[in-house]
Amino acid sequence: MKLICNQSDLNSNLSFVSRAVSSRPTHPILGNVLLVADEKLGRLRLTAFDLSLGIQTSFPADVQEGGSITLPAKLFGDIVSRLPDGNLTLSVTDVAPEGDEESSDSESFIATLTSQSGRFQIRGLSAEEFPSLPTVADSVPLMLPVAALNEGLRGALFAASTDETKQVLTGVHFKGTADTLEFAATDGHRLALVETPTQVEAEEGEEAIQGSNLEDFSVTIPAKALRELERMLATRQDSDLVSLFVDETQAIFEFGDQRLTSRKLEGAYPAYQQLIPRQFSRTVSMERKRLLSGLERVSVLSDQKNNLVKFSLNTEDSQILLSVEAQDLGNARESLPAEITGASGDIAFNVKYLMDGLKALPGGDIQMQLNEGNQPVIFTPLGGAKMTYLVMPVQIVR
């Protein structure tokens, strides 16, 4: 195996796939990245796989001799990132010691990386030991617009649970209809729900980009994998289509020369639509960024044990008073203008949950809908994207 490639190309693609390398591999090969040089295509393909999440990409290279090898991902990445800009030469040799009568599995491989400034040699393992990425046989892909995926992930990912004992809640639930794709995430204390169209509006004179009919489609995918997908989509156009393959255990996203595979999360996702109240006794409309800024200021003094912030609704003065009481530290008060319908009253929230949701909500103005102080509160943008953020209030101790 021998090839010449650009340091910047190798570094960026290696950093990209290395996010799927296991931090504590159960087998040495899982701490490696697979390199496959294709002489016919003139490309170098990189793959990392921790047996749950897999990432694969490729880029152009001057492949003089095809071949494959796996190299320690962290060591290889640390070296490549420190090399100067310009072309690198990567060659691989088999250096099985003389007189070794063991099988070919015991052979050693040395990768030599040569730059303008010097040479590095790294010991690698046979590519034959590297586990293959999962595939979905006989499956017709669902075509999803990048715009829909970006909007859904941006509005839902943050609300997924980090508690590994509640496995199904550590993912985002995708649910499709004939012309929309719904994203839902909850950790039991809050719920983020985003509905996106599967058709992307085109520029004048162009045809609209239509994704697949997703009727009766549903799947729950780990948030960890979807965060990597979000990074992958960052360089794509909104009108690009992503192919999604799904079977009983796997979800595979493909676009261009990039591929992401992930295990699905097992178990029934909660019936989240039943959690959303349909009637409200009070409604508050206000500017999203002003509320967020106010919360960021008073949260400096929030009690680190509960991060509690109290909302006092004043219907007569059309104001919301944000207040924080931090025992042994002090307190904070801030008044914000708001349009309020319904009775005045107090309600309290986890300030972190509120700020997370306000950062994800699109648009300038938002609406808060609520009933009694112990019932779910709904935040929605006024106009624009269809997003619902439900958060459970915290009981105020009198």
The conformation of residue 125, written as its DSSP 8-state character, comes to: B
**pLDDT of 320 higher than 70:** yes
Structure confidence by residue, pLDDT tens digits, 69-93 = 999 999 999 999 999 999 999 999 9
Question: Do 209 and 296 belong to one domain?
Answer: no
**How confident is the model at residue 398, as a pLDDT?**
61
Q: Which amino acid is at 21?
A: V
3-state helix, strand, coil in the chain (%, to 5): 25, 40, 35
Which range of 100-104, 138-142, 353-357 scores highest in mean pLDDT? It is 353-357
> 210, 237, 272 — which closes off a domain?
272
Distance CA 17, CA 264 (A): 20
Q: Pick from 258, 252, 106, 276: which is nearest to 191 by CA? A: 276
Q: Is residue 171 part of a domain?
A: yes
Lookup: tokens for 3: 């090839």
Q: How confident is the model at residue 202 (pLDDT cuts 50, 70, 90)?
A: low
Please state, rounded to an integer, the average pLDDT across all residues of the chain: 90
Nearest to 321 by CA among 329, 307, 331, 310: 310
**pLDDT average, residue stretch 19-43:** 94
247 with 300, same domain: the answer is: no
Statement to judge: residues 259 and 340 lie in one domain: no
Closest CA to 261 of 225, 237, 234: 225
Residue 136 maps to a domain: no
Q: Do 267 and 282 share a structural domain? A: no
User: In sequence order, what are the beta bridge partners of 333?
Assistant: 323
Count of Cβ atoms closer than 10 Å to residue 374 Cβ: 11
Q: What is the pLDDT, as a whole number, of residue 200?
A: 60
| Model confidence at 208: pLDDT above 50 | no
Residue 7 scores a pLDDT above 70: yes
Report the Cα–Cα distance between both ends of the chain, in Å, rounded: 73
Q: How many CB atoms within 10 Å of residue 118?
A: 9
pLDDT recorded at residue 210: 58
DSSP H or E stretch at residue 73: helix 73-82
Residue 289 DSSP SS3: helix
Would you list the DSSP string of 37-51?
EETTTTEEEEEEE-S
Q: What is the spatial distance between Cα 84 and Cα 116, in angstroms, rounded to a whole number?
A: 8
* pLDDT for residue 263 is more than 60: yes
Looking at residue 205, its pLDDT comes to 45
Q: What is the number of domains present in the chain?
A: 3
* Arithmetic mean of pLDDT, 342-358: 94
Considering the domain boundaries, does residue 134 fall inside one?
Answer: no
The whole domain housing 38 covers 2-129
Listed range (162-166, 222-226, 319-323) with the worst mean pLDDT:
162-166
Domain membership flag for residue 397: no
**Two tokens, residue 107:** 């052979």
Q: What is the pTM of this model?
A: 0.89
Cβ contacts of residue 69 below 8 Å, gap of 6+?
Answer: 1, 34, 35, 92, 109, 111, 124, 125, 126, 127
State residue 102's pLDDT score: 45
Q: Is 11 helix (H, G, I), strand (E, B) or coil?
A: helix
pLDDT > 90 in the chain, percent: 75
* Dihedral angle of Cα 143, 147, 152, 154, to the nearest 10 degrees: 140
DSSP annotation string for 336-348? EE-EEES--EEEE
Asked if residue 77 is part of any domain, the answer here is yes
Separation of alpha carbons 146 and 272, rounded Å:
25
Query: Does residue 330 sit in the same domain as residue 268?
Result: no
Does residue 302 register a pLDDT over 90? Answer: no
In a domain, 396, yes or no: no
The last residue of one of the domains, among 242, 272, 302, is 272
Kind of pairing, strands 190-197 and 282-287? Answer: unpaired
Strand partners, 80: none
- Is residue 188 within 8 Å of residue 170, measured between CB atoms? no
Alpha carbon distance 396, 398 (integer Å): 6
Examine the pLDDT at 206 and tell me if it is beyond 50. no
**Range 234-244 average pLDDT:** 88
User: What are the two backbone dihedrals, phi and then psi, of residue 353, each rounded to the nearest 5 degrees?
Assistant: -60, -40
CATH code (residue 8)? 3.10.150.10
Q: Supply the pLDDT for residue 374.
A: 85
More confidently predicted of 328 and 12: 12
Rounded to an integer, the average pLDDT of 123-142 is 90
Per-residue pLDDT averaged across 57-64, rounded?
97
- Nearby residues of 283 by Cβ (< 8 Å), 6 or more positions away: 340, 341, 342, 367, 368, 369, 370
Same domain, 13 and 80: yes
